Amino acid sequence: MERTYIQDLRSAVDQTVQIKGWLQTLRDQKKLQFLILRDPTGLVQVTHWKPNDEALAEQISKLGTESALTITGKVVDNPVVKLGGLEIQLESLCVENTAEIPLPFDPFADSLPVLDFRLDWRYLDLRRPVNNLLFRVETTVENAMRTYWTQNNFIEIHSPKLTGSPSESGAELFSLDYFDTKAYLAQSPQFYKQMAMAAGFERICEIGPVFRADPSFTARHMTEFTGVDAEISWIDSHEDVMRSEEAMLHDVYQTVKEKHGDEIKSLFGTEIVVPELPFPRIPMREVIEILKGRGYTLPADKKGDIDPGGEREIAAYVKEKFNHDFVFVTDWPVSARPFYHMRKEDDPNLTKSFDLIANGLEITTGAQREHRPDILAKQALEKGLHLEPIQYYLDFFRYGCPPHGGYGMGLSRLMMVMLGMNNIREAVYIFRGPTRLMP
Ligand code: ATP
Protein backbone atom coordinates (compact mmCIF):
# COMPACT_ATOMS: atom_id res chain seq x y z
CA MET A 1 0.00 0.00 0.00
CA GLU A 2 1.22 3.47 -0.80
CA ARG A 3 1.93 5.92 1.99
CA THR A 4 -0.59 8.72 2.59
CA TYR A 5 0.61 11.97 4.14
CA ILE A 6 -1.40 13.26 7.09
CA GLN A 7 -2.28 16.50 5.31
CA ASP A 8 -4.06 14.44 2.60
CA LEU A 9 -6.26 12.33 4.91
CA ARG A 10 -9.36 14.48 4.41
CA SER A 11 -9.70 13.22 0.84
CA ALA A 12 -9.32 9.61 2.03
CA VAL A 13 -12.31 9.46 4.40
CA ASP A 14 -13.85 5.97 4.50
CA GLN A 15 -10.73 4.46 2.91
CA THR A 16 -8.02 2.32 4.45
CA VAL A 17 -4.68 4.12 4.34
CA GLN A 18 -1.11 3.61 5.42
CA ILE A 19 0.63 6.43 7.29
CA LYS A 20 4.18 6.67 8.56
CA GLY A 21 5.51 8.81 11.35
CA TRP A 22 6.36 9.25 15.01
CA LEU A 23 4.25 8.54 18.06
CA GLN A 24 3.93 11.96 19.61
CA THR A 25 1.53 11.07 22.45
CA LEU A 26 -0.15 7.96 23.71
CA ARG A 27 -3.28 8.02 25.84
CA ASP A 28 -4.00 4.58 27.18
CA GLN A 29 -7.53 4.26 28.58
CA LYS A 30 -9.45 1.31 29.87
CA LYS A 31 -10.98 0.27 26.57
CA LEU A 32 -9.49 2.72 24.13
CA GLN A 33 -6.01 3.77 23.07
CA PHE A 34 -5.36 7.10 21.39
CA LEU A 35 -2.12 7.48 19.46
CA ILE A 36 -1.20 10.90 18.11
CA LEU A 37 0.99 10.30 15.09
CA ARG A 38 3.14 12.99 13.50
CA ASP A 39 4.59 13.15 10.02
CA PRO A 40 6.20 16.18 8.36
CA THR A 41 2.77 17.38 7.21
CA GLY A 42 0.84 17.26 10.48
CA LEU A 43 -0.72 15.29 13.30
CA VAL A 44 -3.51 12.72 13.34
CA GLN A 45 -5.34 10.78 16.01
CA VAL A 46 -5.29 7.01 15.67
CA THR A 47 -7.73 5.04 17.85
CA HIS A 48 -7.57 1.45 18.89
CA TRP A 49 -10.48 -0.38 20.55
CA LYS A 50 -8.57 -2.66 22.88
CA PRO A 51 -10.99 -5.61 22.98
CA ASN A 52 -10.49 -5.96 19.22
CA ASP A 53 -6.93 -7.16 19.69
CA GLU A 54 -5.58 -7.52 23.22
CA ALA A 55 -2.08 -8.50 22.07
CA LEU A 56 -1.81 -5.39 19.93
CA ALA A 57 -3.16 -3.31 22.80
CA GLU A 58 -0.41 -4.60 25.03
CA GLN A 59 2.23 -3.86 22.41
CA ILE A 60 0.93 -0.29 22.10
CA SER A 61 0.89 0.20 25.89
CA LYS A 62 4.62 -0.41 25.99
CA LEU A 63 5.49 1.96 23.14
CA GLY A 64 7.73 4.87 23.94
CA THR A 65 6.77 8.22 22.51
CA GLU A 66 8.83 9.18 19.44
CA SER A 67 8.89 5.56 18.21
CA ALA A 68 8.82 5.35 14.40
CA LEU A 69 5.64 3.60 13.22
CA THR A 70 3.83 2.49 10.11
CA ILE A 71 0.11 2.33 10.68
CA THR A 72 -2.78 1.13 8.54
CA GLY A 73 -6.35 1.91 9.33
CA LYS A 74 -9.61 3.33 8.14
CA VAL A 75 -10.04 7.09 7.98
CA VAL A 76 -13.31 8.15 9.56
CA ASP A 77 -14.94 11.51 9.73
CA ASN A 78 -15.35 12.57 13.36
CA PRO A 79 -16.19 16.25 13.94
CA VAL A 80 -15.47 15.89 17.68
CA VAL A 81 -11.76 15.24 17.06
CA LYS A 82 -9.74 18.45 17.36
CA LEU A 83 -7.08 17.32 14.88
CA GLY A 84 -8.76 17.92 11.54
CA GLY A 85 -12.15 16.46 12.52
CA LEU A 86 -11.10 12.95 11.59
CA GLU A 87 -9.37 9.94 13.02
CA ILE A 88 -7.89 6.65 11.91
CA GLN A 89 -9.29 3.40 13.28
CA LEU A 90 -6.26 1.22 13.73
CA GLU A 91 -6.08 -2.01 11.77
CA SER A 92 -2.41 -2.88 11.96
CA LEU A 93 0.77 -1.40 13.27
CA CYS A 94 4.42 -1.99 12.47
CA VAL A 95 7.00 -0.66 14.91
CA GLU A 96 9.87 0.27 12.61
CA ASN A 97 12.04 1.53 15.42
CA THR A 98 11.15 1.81 19.10
CA ALA A 99 12.12 4.88 21.07
CA GLU A 100 13.77 3.90 24.31
CA ILE A 101 12.15 5.08 27.53
CA PRO A 102 12.88 7.65 28.82
CA LEU A 103 13.83 10.06 26.01
CA PRO A 104 16.86 12.26 26.73
CA PHE A 105 14.28 15.04 26.51
CA ASP A 106 10.80 15.36 25.11
CA PRO A 107 10.93 17.71 22.12
CA PHE A 108 7.19 18.33 22.54
CA ALA A 109 7.19 19.17 26.24
CA ASP A 110 5.99 22.62 27.26
CA SER A 111 9.40 23.57 28.58
CA LEU A 112 12.61 22.57 26.82
CA PRO A 113 16.04 21.95 28.34
CA VAL A 114 18.83 24.47 27.80
CA LEU A 115 20.18 24.89 24.29
CA ASP A 116 23.51 23.18 24.93
CA PHE A 117 21.75 20.03 26.10
CA ARG A 118 19.42 20.12 23.10
CA LEU A 119 22.46 20.38 20.83
CA ASP A 120 23.78 17.14 22.34
CA TRP A 121 20.56 15.51 21.09
CA ARG A 122 20.17 17.64 18.00
CA TYR A 123 18.22 15.07 16.00
CA LEU A 124 15.49 15.07 18.63
CA ASP A 125 15.52 18.86 18.78
CA LEU A 126 15.20 18.97 14.99
CA ARG A 127 11.96 16.96 15.22
CA ARG A 128 10.19 20.09 16.44
CA PRO A 129 8.08 21.53 13.59
CA VAL A 130 9.67 24.95 14.01
CA ASN A 131 13.06 23.42 13.17
CA ASN A 132 11.69 21.41 10.29
CA LEU A 133 10.25 24.65 8.90
CA LEU A 134 13.57 26.44 9.37
CA PHE A 135 15.34 24.03 7.04
CA ARG A 136 12.51 23.96 4.54
CA VAL A 137 12.77 27.76 4.42
CA GLU A 138 16.56 27.55 4.08
CA THR A 139 16.09 25.21 1.12
CA THR A 140 13.76 27.76 -0.47
CA VAL A 141 16.27 30.53 0.26
CA GLU A 142 19.11 28.71 -1.49
CA ASN A 143 16.89 27.80 -4.44
CA ALA A 144 15.72 31.41 -4.78
CA MET A 145 19.34 32.61 -4.71
CA ARG A 146 20.28 30.18 -7.45
CA THR A 147 17.23 31.17 -9.47
CA TYR A 148 18.23 34.83 -9.26
CA TRP A 149 21.82 34.02 -10.17
CA THR A 150 21.01 31.76 -13.10
CA GLN A 151 18.51 34.30 -14.47
CA ASN A 152 21.32 36.85 -14.31
CA ASN A 153 23.99 34.72 -15.98
CA PHE A 154 26.04 33.79 -12.93
CA ILE A 155 28.20 30.67 -13.07
CA GLU A 156 28.25 28.55 -9.91
CA ILE A 157 31.70 27.47 -8.76
CA HIS A 158 32.97 25.19 -5.99
CA SER A 159 36.31 26.48 -4.83
CA PRO A 160 38.71 24.24 -2.88
CA LYS A 161 38.48 24.19 0.89
CA LEU A 162 41.95 22.70 1.29
CA THR A 163 44.55 25.33 0.54
CA GLY A 164 48.31 25.56 0.62
CA SER A 165 48.44 29.10 1.93
CA PRO A 166 46.25 31.36 4.06
CA SER A 167 43.90 33.54 2.02
CA GLU A 168 44.26 36.63 4.15
CA SER A 169 46.30 36.69 7.30
CA GLY A 170 47.41 33.83 9.47
CA ALA A 171 44.72 34.64 12.04
CA GLU A 172 41.64 32.46 12.42
CA LEU A 173 43.26 29.70 10.39
CA PHE A 174 42.87 25.95 10.90
CA SER A 175 45.90 24.00 9.75
CA LEU A 176 46.19 20.27 9.27
CA ASP A 177 48.71 17.64 8.24
CA TYR A 178 48.72 17.15 4.50
CA PHE A 179 51.05 14.26 3.64
CA ASP A 180 54.48 15.66 4.44
CA THR A 181 53.41 19.28 4.44
CA LYS A 182 50.78 21.55 6.00
CA ALA A 183 47.41 22.52 4.56
CA TYR A 184 44.85 25.08 5.70
CA LEU A 185 41.08 25.08 5.69
CA ALA A 186 39.74 27.94 3.57
CA GLN A 187 38.71 30.99 5.63
CA SER A 188 36.75 32.29 2.65
CA PRO A 189 36.57 31.62 -1.10
CA GLN A 190 37.87 35.17 -1.63
CA PHE A 191 40.95 34.52 -3.74
CA TYR A 192 39.29 31.80 -5.82
CA LYS A 193 36.27 33.99 -6.51
CA GLN A 194 38.64 36.60 -7.85
CA MET A 195 40.50 33.97 -9.85
CA ALA A 196 37.20 33.30 -11.65
CA MET A 197 37.18 36.96 -12.68
CA ALA A 198 40.70 36.52 -14.09
CA ALA A 199 39.32 33.43 -15.85
CA GLY A 200 36.76 35.56 -17.66
CA PHE A 201 33.71 34.06 -15.89
CA GLU A 202 32.36 37.62 -15.31
CA ARG A 203 29.73 36.62 -12.72
CA ILE A 204 30.09 33.79 -10.27
CA CYS A 205 28.38 32.52 -7.14
CA GLU A 206 29.18 29.90 -4.57
CA ILE A 207 27.40 28.46 -1.54
CA GLY A 208 29.93 26.50 0.46
CA PRO A 209 31.71 25.87 3.75
CA VAL A 210 33.95 28.44 5.41
CA PHE A 211 36.24 27.69 8.35
CA ARG A 212 37.37 30.20 10.99
CA ALA A 213 39.52 29.33 14.00
CA ASP A 214 37.79 32.08 15.92
CA PRO A 215 37.83 31.25 19.64
CA SER A 216 34.91 33.56 20.47
CA PHE A 217 31.63 32.45 22.03
CA THR A 218 29.11 34.88 20.59
CA ALA A 219 25.57 34.20 19.44
CA ARG A 220 26.61 34.92 15.82
CA HIS A 221 29.97 33.17 15.28
CA MET A 222 30.75 29.57 14.35
CA THR A 223 34.03 27.89 13.50
CA GLU A 224 32.44 26.39 10.39
CA PHE A 225 29.66 28.13 8.51
CA THR A 226 28.04 28.18 5.09
CA GLY A 227 29.13 31.17 3.07
CA VAL A 228 27.06 32.70 0.28
CA ASP A 229 29.45 34.38 -2.10
CA ALA A 230 29.22 36.24 -5.38
CA GLU A 231 31.70 38.15 -7.52
CA ILE A 232 31.00 40.25 -10.60
CA SER A 233 33.21 41.84 -13.28
CA TRP A 234 33.29 45.12 -15.18
CA ILE A 235 31.84 47.10 -12.30
CA ASP A 236 32.29 50.85 -11.82
CA SER A 237 32.23 50.70 -8.04
CA HIS A 238 30.91 48.85 -5.01
CA GLU A 239 27.52 50.38 -5.86
CA ASP A 240 27.12 47.75 -8.61
CA VAL A 241 27.81 44.99 -6.08
CA MET A 242 25.24 46.35 -3.63
CA ARG A 243 22.67 46.59 -6.42
CA SER A 244 23.22 42.96 -7.31
CA GLU A 245 22.99 41.78 -3.71
CA GLU A 246 19.86 43.75 -2.83
CA ALA A 247 18.06 42.53 -5.97
CA MET A 248 18.93 38.95 -5.05
CA LEU A 249 17.74 39.39 -1.45
CA HIS A 250 14.54 41.07 -2.59
CA ASP A 251 13.74 38.01 -4.73
CA VAL A 252 14.66 35.64 -1.91
CA TYR A 253 12.34 37.37 0.57
CA GLN A 254 9.53 37.51 -1.97
CA THR A 255 9.80 33.78 -2.70
CA VAL A 256 9.98 32.90 1.01
CA LYS A 257 6.96 35.08 1.81
CA GLU A 258 4.88 33.50 -0.96
CA LYS A 259 5.85 29.97 -0.06
CA HIS A 260 6.12 30.00 3.75
CA GLY A 261 4.85 33.42 4.98
CA ASP A 262 1.86 32.04 6.90
CA GLU A 263 3.74 29.12 8.47
CA ILE A 264 6.60 31.42 9.53
CA LYS A 265 4.10 33.79 11.11
CA SER A 266 2.49 31.00 13.08
CA LEU A 267 5.59 29.05 14.18
CA PHE A 268 8.21 31.81 14.52
CA GLY A 269 5.81 34.71 15.14
CA THR A 270 7.73 36.65 12.50
CA GLU A 271 6.21 38.59 9.62
CA ILE A 272 8.26 38.29 6.44
CA VAL A 273 8.59 41.80 5.02
CA VAL A 274 9.88 41.94 1.45
CA PRO A 275 12.50 44.72 1.58
CA GLU A 276 11.90 47.64 -0.75
CA LEU A 277 14.52 48.52 -3.35
CA PRO A 278 16.92 50.22 -3.13
CA PHE A 279 18.08 49.52 0.42
CA PRO A 280 19.23 52.65 2.29
CA ARG A 281 22.98 53.38 2.05
CA ILE A 282 24.88 55.38 4.66
CA PRO A 283 28.62 56.10 4.50
CA MET A 284 30.53 55.00 7.58
CA ARG A 285 31.57 58.56 8.37
CA GLU A 286 27.90 59.57 8.63
CA VAL A 287 27.09 56.46 10.64
CA ILE A 288 29.56 57.57 13.30
CA GLU A 289 27.92 61.01 13.45
CA ILE A 290 24.44 59.49 13.66
CA LEU A 291 25.53 57.13 16.45
CA LYS A 292 27.12 60.04 18.33
CA GLY A 293 23.90 62.02 17.95
CA ARG A 294 22.04 59.11 19.52
CA GLY A 295 24.50 58.97 22.42
CA TYR A 296 26.31 55.84 21.20
CA THR A 297 30.11 55.89 21.15
CA LEU A 298 32.00 53.20 19.27
CA PRO A 299 34.75 51.43 21.21
CA ALA A 300 38.14 52.96 20.32
CA ASP A 301 39.82 49.56 19.81
CA LYS A 302 37.58 48.73 16.83
CA LYS A 303 39.83 50.62 14.36
CA GLY A 304 36.89 52.25 12.64
CA ASP A 305 34.74 49.09 12.69
CA ILE A 306 31.23 49.03 14.19
CA ASP A 307 30.54 46.83 17.20
CA PRO A 308 27.32 44.81 17.58
CA GLY A 309 25.74 47.51 19.77
CA GLY A 310 26.47 50.07 17.04
CA GLU A 311 24.95 47.78 14.42
CA ARG A 312 21.74 47.58 16.42
CA GLU A 313 21.69 51.34 17.01
CA ILE A 314 22.15 52.25 13.34
CA ALA A 315 19.47 49.72 12.42
CA ALA A 316 17.10 51.40 14.88
CA TYR A 317 17.85 54.76 13.23
CA VAL A 318 17.21 53.34 9.75
CA LYS A 319 13.96 51.77 10.90
CA GLU A 320 12.75 55.09 12.33
CA LYS A 321 13.92 57.20 9.41
CA PHE A 322 13.33 54.95 6.38
CA ASN A 323 11.12 52.18 7.83
CA HIS A 324 13.61 49.70 6.37
CA ASP A 325 15.14 46.58 7.95
CA PHE A 326 18.30 46.66 5.84
CA VAL A 327 21.07 49.19 5.54
CA PHE A 328 24.30 49.23 3.56
CA VAL A 329 27.04 50.93 5.55
CA THR A 330 29.53 52.09 2.91
CA ASP A 331 33.00 53.59 2.46
CA TRP A 332 34.82 52.00 5.37
CA PRO A 333 38.22 53.26 6.53
CA VAL A 334 41.30 51.40 5.26
CA SER A 335 42.14 50.47 8.86
CA ALA A 336 39.01 48.29 9.15
CA ARG A 337 39.31 46.53 5.79
CA PRO A 338 41.56 43.88 4.22
CA PHE A 339 44.33 44.83 1.80
CA TYR A 340 42.43 43.81 -1.35
CA HIS A 341 39.60 46.33 -0.94
CA MET A 342 39.98 49.11 -3.50
CA ARG A 343 40.52 52.58 -2.10
CA LYS A 344 38.44 55.57 -3.09
CA GLU A 345 39.95 57.81 -5.78
CA ASP A 346 38.87 60.98 -3.93
CA ASP A 347 39.84 59.80 -0.44
CA PRO A 348 42.60 57.17 -0.15
CA ASN A 349 41.78 56.66 3.54
CA LEU A 350 38.48 55.12 2.58
CA THR A 351 37.67 51.90 0.73
CA LYS A 352 35.02 51.17 -1.89
CA SER A 353 33.38 48.73 0.47
CA PHE A 354 30.21 48.03 2.39
CA ASP A 355 28.65 45.90 5.09
CA LEU A 356 25.01 44.94 4.96
CA ILE A 357 23.24 45.16 8.31
CA ALA A 358 19.90 43.40 8.54
CA ASN A 359 17.65 43.86 11.57
CA GLY A 360 20.70 45.08 13.47
CA LEU A 361 23.06 42.22 12.57
CA GLU A 362 25.94 42.29 10.07
CA ILE A 363 25.20 39.69 7.43
CA THR A 364 27.53 40.68 4.57
CA THR A 365 30.83 42.28 3.73
CA GLY A 366 31.44 43.38 0.16
CA ALA A 367 33.70 45.63 -1.89
CA GLN A 368 35.23 46.51 -5.18
CA ARG A 369 38.58 44.69 -5.26
CA GLU A 370 41.91 46.22 -6.18
CA HIS A 371 42.76 44.59 -9.53
CA ARG A 372 45.95 46.53 -10.34
CA PRO A 373 48.79 44.24 -9.20
CA ASP A 374 51.31 46.95 -8.27
CA ILE A 375 48.80 48.80 -6.06
CA LEU A 376 47.54 45.52 -4.62
CA ALA A 377 51.08 44.44 -3.64
CA LYS A 378 51.70 47.82 -2.07
CA GLN A 379 48.52 47.59 -0.02
CA ALA A 380 49.41 44.06 1.11
CA LEU A 381 52.84 45.22 2.31
CA GLU A 382 51.24 48.16 4.13
CA LYS A 383 49.04 45.71 6.02
CA GLY A 384 52.15 43.77 7.06
CA LEU A 385 51.66 40.79 4.74
CA HIS A 386 54.53 38.94 3.06
CA LEU A 387 54.19 38.82 -0.69
CA GLU A 388 55.69 35.42 -1.28
CA PRO A 389 52.81 33.30 0.13
CA ILE A 390 50.25 35.34 -1.82
CA GLN A 391 52.26 35.62 -5.04
CA TYR A 392 49.98 33.10 -6.77
CA TYR A 393 47.07 35.42 -5.97
CA LEU A 394 48.87 38.56 -7.12
CA ASP A 395 49.59 36.71 -10.39
CA PHE A 396 45.84 36.55 -11.14
CA PHE A 397 46.03 40.26 -11.96
CA ARG A 398 48.97 40.13 -14.37
CA TYR A 399 47.33 38.98 -17.57
CA GLY A 400 44.13 40.90 -18.15
CA CYS A 401 41.83 40.86 -15.14
CA PRO A 402 38.72 43.09 -15.38
CA PRO A 403 37.66 45.44 -12.58
CA HIS A 404 35.46 43.45 -10.21
CA GLY A 405 33.88 43.19 -6.78
CA GLY A 406 31.70 40.93 -4.73
CA TYR A 407 30.24 40.03 -1.41
CA GLY A 408 30.26 37.27 1.21
CA MET A 409 27.26 36.54 3.37
CA GLY A 410 26.69 34.03 6.17
CA LEU A 411 23.71 31.81 5.34
CA SER A 412 22.81 31.15 8.98
CA ARG A 413 23.02 34.85 9.80
CA LEU A 414 20.52 35.49 7.04
CA MET A 415 18.22 32.78 8.46
CA MET A 416 18.54 34.35 11.92
CA VAL A 417 17.40 37.78 10.78
CA MET A 418 14.77 36.45 8.40
CA LEU A 419 13.08 34.30 11.05
CA GLY A 420 13.81 36.50 14.07
CA MET A 421 16.08 34.04 15.90
CA ASN A 422 18.65 35.36 18.33
CA ASN A 423 21.25 32.59 18.46
CA ILE A 424 23.10 31.19 15.46
CA ARG A 425 23.38 27.80 17.21
CA GLU A 426 19.64 27.38 16.68
CA ALA A 427 19.74 28.64 13.09
CA VAL A 428 22.29 26.12 11.79
CA TYR A 429 21.80 22.41 11.18
CA ILE A 430 24.74 21.40 13.38
CA PHE A 431 26.71 23.99 15.29
CA ARG A 432 30.48 24.00 15.36
CA GLY A 433 32.22 26.15 17.95
CA PRO A 434 35.47 26.20 19.93
CA THR A 435 34.14 23.59 22.38
CA ARG A 436 31.70 21.75 20.16
CA LEU A 437 32.77 19.16 17.60
CA MET A 438 30.07 16.55 18.37
CA PRO A 439 27.63 15.23 17.33
P1 ATP B 1 32.15 39.63 12.12
O2 ATP B 1 32.59 41.05 12.12
O3 ATP B 1 30.71 39.46 12.49
O4 ATP B 1 33.06 38.71 12.89
P5 ATP B 1 33.54 39.32 9.68
O6 ATP B 1 33.73 40.77 9.39
O7 ATP B 1 34.67 38.51 10.18
O8 ATP B 1 32.25 39.13 10.62
P9 ATP B 1 33.52 38.55 6.94
O10 ATP B 1 34.86 37.98 6.97
O11 ATP B 1 33.31 39.84 6.28
O12 ATP B 1 32.92 38.62 8.42
O13 ATP B 1 32.52 37.44 6.37
C14 ATP B 1 31.38 37.74 5.59
C15 ATP B 1 30.11 37.28 6.28
O16 ATP B 1 30.24 35.93 6.69
C17 ATP B 1 29.74 38.03 7.54
O18 ATP B 1 29.05 39.20 7.25
C19 ATP B 1 28.85 37.03 8.24
O20 ATP B 1 27.54 37.01 7.68
C21 ATP B 1 29.50 35.72 7.89
N22 ATP B 1 30.40 35.28 8.96
C23 ATP B 1 31.65 35.70 9.19
N24 ATP B 1 32.21 35.07 10.23
C25 ATP B 1 31.28 34.19 10.66
C26 ATP B 1 31.27 33.22 11.68
N27 ATP B 1 32.35 33.02 12.46
N28 ATP B 1 30.16 32.47 11.85
C29 ATP B 1 29.08 32.67 11.06
N30 ATP B 1 29.03 33.56 10.07
C31 ATP B 1 30.11 34.33 9.86
CA of 344 to the centre of ligand 1 (A): 23
Q: Going by CA atoms, what residue is nearest to atom 4 of ligand 1?
A: 221
Cβ of 362 less than 6 Å from ligand 1: yes
For every residue of 98-164, DSSP letters joined together read PPPSS-SS-TTSSSPPPHHHHHHTHHHHTTSHHHHHHHHHHHHHHHHHHHHHHHTT-EE----SEES
Cα–Cα distance measured from residue 19 to residue 125, given in angstroms and rounded to the nearest whole number: 23
CA of 226 to the centre of ligand 1 (A): 10
Alpha-helical segments (H) within 269-397: 284-293, 308-322, 373-382, 391-395
**H or E element that contains 244:** helix 238-268
Nearest to 28 by CA among 17, 18, 19, 36: 36
What's the Rg (C-alpha) of the chain? 27
Residue in 141, 206, 217, 225 to alter for ligand 1 test, most ligand atoms within 8 A of Cβ: 225
Residue 167 pLDDT: 67
Q: Going by CA atoms, what residue is nearest to atom 1 of ligand 1?
A: 362
Q: Which domains does the chain have, with CATH numbers?
A: 6-97 (2.40.50.140), 124-426 (3.30.930.10)
Residue 169 pLDDT: 63
Residue 303 pLDDT: 72
Residue in 167, 221, 284 to alter for ligand 1 test, most ligand atoms within 8 A of Cβ: 221
Residue in 210, 245, 429, 430 to alter for ligand 1 test, most ligand atoms within 8 A of Cβ: 210
CA of 142 to the centre of ligand 1 (A): 18
In terms of C-beta distances under 8 Å and separation of at least 24 residues, what long-range contacts does 160-168 make, across chains too?
160/186, 160/192, 161/185, 161/186, 161/208, 161/209, 161/211, 162/186, 165/389, 165/390, 165/392, 166/389, 167/191, 167/393, 168/338
Cβ of 212 less than 6 Å from ligand 1: yes
Cβ of 118 less than 6 Å from ligand 1: no
Residue 185 pLDDT: 96
Amino acid (1-letter code) at residue 40: P
End-to-end Cα spacing for the chain:
36
Amino acid (1-letter code) at residue 11: S
Say what the pTM is: 0.96
Asked if residue 327 lies in contact with residue 279, where contact means CB atoms within 8 angstroms, the answer is yes
Cβ of 408 less than 6 Å from ligand 1: yes
Residue 170 pLDDT: 65
Per-residue pLDDT of the chain (439 residues; tens, 9 = 90+): 999 999 999 999 999 999 999 999 999 999 999 999 999 999 999 999 999 999 999 999 999 999 999 999 999 999 999 999 999 999 999 999 999 999 999 999 999 999 999 999 999 999 999 999 999 999 999 999 999 999 999 999 999 999 988 766 667 899 999 999 999 999 999 999 999 999 999 999 999 999 999 998 999 999 999 999 999 999 999 999 999 999 999 999 999 999 999 999 999 999 999 999 999 999 999 999 999 999 998 887 777 789 999 999 999 999 999 999 999 999 999 999 999 999 999 999 999 999 999 999 999 999 999 999 999 999 999 999 999 989 999 999 999 999 999 999 999 999 999 999 999 999 999 999 999 999 9
Residue in 361, 362, 426 to alter for ligand 1 test, most ligand atoms within 8 A of Cβ: 362
